[in-house]
Amino acid sequence: MLSFFYNTCLMLLGLFAMPKFLLSWNKYKGTVLYRLGLKFPNLQLSSAPVIWIHAVSTGETKAATALVAQLQQAFPDIQIVVSNTTCTGHREAKKSLPQAKAHFFLPLDFSWVMRRLVKQISPNTLFLVESDFWFHLVCHVKKTGGKVVLVNGKISEHSYKRFRFFSYFTRRLFSLFDLFLVQNDTYFKRFSHFVDSSKIYVTGNLKWDITPDLLSLSQRNDLKAQLKLANKTIILASTHDPEEKWLLEKLDILWQLFPTLKVLIAPRHPERFQNVSSLLQRKNYSYALSSNPFQITGEEQVILIDQMGQLTNYYQVVDLAIVGGSFVAHIGGHNIFEPVSVGTPVLFGPHMHTQRDLQQQILQSQSGLEITLDSLVETISKLLSFPLSISSQNRSSMQGAAKKTIDLLQNVVELKAQAR
């Protein structure tokens, strides 16, 4: 009965989402058959144990990379498959986890779709990264004898309220999990409202264990030369509408104080590149596109980053990063750890409710600052004159989540070969 009700709700939600989906057709057209469960990944799996990792988007996928490295050391014979929800997450998985036997989009969580997919993969263990919970996926993994583990777990304040409203369903879902490995004590308390606390352990945040893709000195110099960066440079990263407009209005004041200041803008979603370009044209900013380096003269105020998957590189050639999604309440922040991991101080806005743990740790390690739009000009002026120094010792004190995760998994996960 619960499964029938859940399937029905998914269908109704799908109907409501159809207009938005059709408007974004170009974004999804190459993945529709996979998302609807009409096409499945082509898997070439042996009888060796299978670990299935599901990570929604880029941030969750990067967190998973920190775990995979130690997983393969502890369990060298395992096969890994990775599923994602977003296109950016899928691209990151193919880039950061090339050793995976398959990279695919997770289809809609209908019972008949998940039954076929889980039977095909037959995972020994399913790892859900952070906070993406799918009822039929979990049910069918358990029915086939697999374990289900939440890693780097979190429940935002908003999600916690929603889960409490649907408390009966949440308890049923969470009762199927074998282990909850969460980021901090706050999440421990929230999960313990729905499941026995003996299943929950605080392991820390896997993102602190990520090994960044550092550029060599010559590579950094080459990228600076390509972008013609000779003076102070800041990047507005993972921005949403209308953050670019708001931030540029404040930067107009900064340009009076620092006339040679260069600003890179990297919108969160590629479909917004044209919108941001139009904004720069309307406001008469001189700008160039990163995808056309021959167009860059060095005299531009702004360089629009209109390419995906290179944000880590750009963080390494700027003096300061401002991470978006944190000045608009409905987003709640993005990955502020990434710039810090490559030694670049980070600024972020007041709306960080989806990244509360990272926010507290960044502030604690003195690797970044929380600002408002009103304090932005004064703060950046000070930091451009007296830069923050990021201590590697402070960063290392936050690490260790991957090792704690592996230590706990050894007691729960049985990785045995099986017939296929």
Per-residue DSSP letters for 246-302? HHHHHHHHHHHH-TT-EEEEEESSGGGHHHHHHHHHHTT--EEETT-GGG--S--SE
Max distance between CA atoms of the chain, in angstroms, equals 69
How many C-beta neighbours within 10 Å does residue 243 have? 24
For residues 260 and 230, give the distance between their C-alpha atoms in angstroms, rounded to a whole number: 9
Residue type, 199: K
Catalytic positions, written as ranges: 60
User: Which residues, at least 6 apart from 1, have a Cβ–Cβ distance to it below 8 Å?
Assistant: none
Per-residue DSSP letters for 132-154? ---HHHHHHHHHTT-EEEEEEE-
In our burial notation (b when 16+ CB lie closer than 10 A, e otherwise), range 298-308 reads eebbbbbbbeb
For residues 328 and 296, give the distance between their C-alpha atoms in angstroms, rounded to a whole number: 31
Decide: 203 and 404 in contact? Cβ < 8 Å. yes
How many C-beta neighbours within 10 Å does residue 220 have? 15
How many C-beta neighbours within 10 Å does residue 274 have? 12
Residue type, 377: V
> Residue 137: which of 145, 151, 126 has the closest Cα?
126
Q: Strands, E, within 272-406: which ranges?
A: 287-289, 302-304, 320-323, 346-348, 368-370
